[in-house]
Amino acid sequence: MTSLASTQHTLDRTALVAGAQAILDEHLWCVVEVCVDAPVQNWEPRLLVCRDDGGAVATVVDDFIWAVGGQDVRLAGYTRDTLRRVDEAPAPLCHVAGLSDETLPVFGPEGS
């Protein structure tokens, strides 16, 4: 798992909705993970979004990204019964840390 610190891909809200919907289509919950140690790629779950609509998930995730500006975050799929991360789930979307009030969130496919 790598962050996008060196490579950025700009995707619009449609891509975030599609990523969330891909996770939901696998009957998983969307969980926002925050990178707590970038050099070793240590990620921790911080927000569980229990919605079955990709658009609703995207809105919550977008709000969360703005609230935690300055941290790398990603959207991942977790099982609904045990709340464990599913590595085979659709690739999470990442936000690259360092946004300001004048920039939009930057999203990209995991591991790019």
Domain boundaries, the chain: 13-100
Query: Residue 64 corresponds to which tokens in the numbers above?
Result: 């969360």
User: What pTM does this model have?
Assistant: 0.73
| The CATH fold of domain 13-100 | Ribulose 1,5 Bisphosphate Carboxylase/Oxygenase (3.30.190)
Please name the residues in contact with 54: beta carbons below 8 A apart, sequence gap of 6 or more: 17, 18, 19, 20, 21, 24
Are the CB atoms for 63 and 105 separated by under 8 Å? no
Are the CB atoms for 91 and 111 separated by under 8 Å? yes
pLDDT tens-digit series, residues 54-99: 999 999 988 888 787 777 888 899 999 999 999 887 766 665 555 4
DSSP state letter for 27 = T
Query: Residue 102 corresponds to which tokens in the numbers above?
Result: 């004048």
